């Protein structure tokens, strides 16, 4: 089967910004995933290494993927907002991907580093769960709410993470 071609897919936020995004549609489709990139102030974009690897590989496994740039990154309007506006960006990306998914198709919110924290801050009812890769847990909107949400969360942590040891992340995520 040929690899799905990324399609430009603008994401419109509820506060009037147009974010740069790309969509890869899987066929057949088993799940949908929104991909959130690392910290925009330190070079993070939707083309960052981990996000690009997921965006490239997952459609072949049946996962329709939407990756996007947070506000103020590359072709996205707006400016960095210390995680607040970026949470709005995530909500907009979920709404942008949702019409491309069947009603019973689970939607997973995935992020790497800063993007993982912003993802874990979303409680959108459409979400089936989260995949958080190296979350520093410095930009969570509400640690207690994230930990209390009973939907599945997979946290991928390096044994010697530069921001937080895995045991500390686990304790916060399960409190």
Domain containing residue 157: CATH number? 3.40.50.1820
- The two tokens of residue 30 are 């088993």
pLDDT score for 153: 92
Number of domains the chain contains: 1
- In the structure, what pLDDT confidence band is assigned to residue 10 with cuts at 50, 70 and 90? very high
User: What pLDDT is stored for residue 14 in this prediction?
Assistant: 97
2 domain-assigned: no
Q: Is the pLDDT of residue 89 over 70?
A: yes
Q: Residue 111: is its pLDDT beyond 90?
A: yes
User: What is the residue range of 18's domain?
Assistant: 7-174
| Confidence tier at 20 by pLDDT (50, 70, 90) | very high
Q: Which residue did the predictor score with more confidence, 136 or 161?
A: 136
> Is there a domain that residue 42 lies in?
yes
pLDDT of residue 175: 63
DSSP 3-state assignment of 122? coil
Give the phi and the psi of residue 115 in degrees, each rounded to 5.
Answer: -60, -30
Residues near 52 by Cβ (< 8 Å), separated by ≥ 6?
46, 67
Note whether residue 77 is domain-resident. yes
Query: Is residue 1 a part of any domain in this protein?
Result: no
Distance CA 39, CA 24 (A): 23
- The pLDDT score that the predictor gives to residue 140 is 79
Q: Which of 40-49, 84-93, 163-172 has the lowest mean pLDDT?
A: 163-172
Give the residue, 140 or 33, on which the prediction is more confident: 33
- Specify the higher pLDDT residue, 99 or 162: 99
Q: Over pLDDT 70: what percentage of the chain?
A: 94
pLDDT at position 174:
67
3-state secondary structure of 103: coil
């Amino acid at each position: 089967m040929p690899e799905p071609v990324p399609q430009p897919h603008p994401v419109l936020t509820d506060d009037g910004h147009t974010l740069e995004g790309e969509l890869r549609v899987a066929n057949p489709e088993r799940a949908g995933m929104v991909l959130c990139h690392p910290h925009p102030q330190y070079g993070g974009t939707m083309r960052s290494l981990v996000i690009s690897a997921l965006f490239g590989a997952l459609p072949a496994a049946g996962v329709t993927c939407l990756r996007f740039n947070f506000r103020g990154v590359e072709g996205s309007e707006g400016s960095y907002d210390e995680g607040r506006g970026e949470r709005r960006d995530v909500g907009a990306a979920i709404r942008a991907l949702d019409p491309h998914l069947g009603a019973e198709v689970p939607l997973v919110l995935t992020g790497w580093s800063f993007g993982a924290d912003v993802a874990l801050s979303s409680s959108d009812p459409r979400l089936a769960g989260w995949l958080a890769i190296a979350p520093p847990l410095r930009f969570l909107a509400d640690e207690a709410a994230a930990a209390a949400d009973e939907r599945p969360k997979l946290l991928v942590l390096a044994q010697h993470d530069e921001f937080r040891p895995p045991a500390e992340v686990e304790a916060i995520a399960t409190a």
